[in-house]
């Protein structure tokens, strides 16, 4: 299996094993879906995004694997009191992932976390859905 898929699968397991302030279920996929049923449980979609390889020496190189982590939840209301906890949850997931070591061979470590967009206003307005995207960069040296 491709290393990026190993990292993504290990990330799904780590996210599902962690207890966050809100209930979330992580799964790996390729195509984000904005058609969630009304539920009180949020969803984290883990999607392989990209790979950059940089040669360090003639015999070694480092690989940066980028993984998108989409956090989705149907919203009951669009007021500040409803949305603020989801913004805090995104930061909580980002903090959890930052520096995370995945048990793949070779081991990969999360060296960067980006949060763009912080939330999707179109999905909020049109579908009453909170959507935020984290892009994680895992580095492995070979």
Question: Domain-by-domain residue ranges, the chain?
Answer: 3-141
Options 1.10.260.30, 3.30.750.24, 3.40.50.300, 3.30.2000.10; CATH of 3-141: 3.30.2000.10
- As a whole-number percent, the residues of the chain with pLDDT over 90 amount to 68
Least confident of 34-38, 79-83, 110-114: 34-38
How much is the pLDDT for 25?
93
Mean pLDDT of the chain: 90
pLDDT digits (tens, 9 = 90+) for 6-34: 999 999 999 999 999 999 999 999 887 65
- Give strand pairing partners of 140: 63
| H/E stretch holding 26 | strand 24-28
CA distance 44 to 20: 12
How much is the pLDDT for 101?
94
Note whether 108 and 102 are within 8 A (CB): yes
pLDDT digits (tens, 9 = 90+) for 27-74: 999 887 656 665 567 899 999 999 999 998 888 889 999 999 999 998
């Amino acid at each position: 299996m491709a290393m990026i898929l190993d990292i993504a699968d290990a990330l799904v397991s780590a996210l599902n094993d962690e207890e966050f302030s809100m209930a979330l279920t992580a799964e790996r996929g390729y195509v984000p879906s904005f058609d969630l049923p009304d539920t009180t449980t949020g969803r984290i979609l883990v999607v392989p995004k990209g790979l950059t390889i940089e040669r360090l020496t003639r015999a070694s190189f480092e690989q940066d694997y980028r993984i998108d982590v989409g956090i989705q939840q149907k919203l009951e209301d669009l007021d500040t009191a409803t949305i603020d906890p989801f913004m805090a949850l995104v930061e909580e997931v980002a903090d959890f992932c930052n520096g995370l070591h995945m048990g793949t061979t070779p081991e990969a470590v999360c060296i960067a976390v980006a949060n763009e967009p912080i939330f999707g206003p179109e999905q909020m307005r049109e579908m009453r859905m909170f959507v935020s995207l984290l892009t994680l960069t895992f580095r492995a040296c070979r």
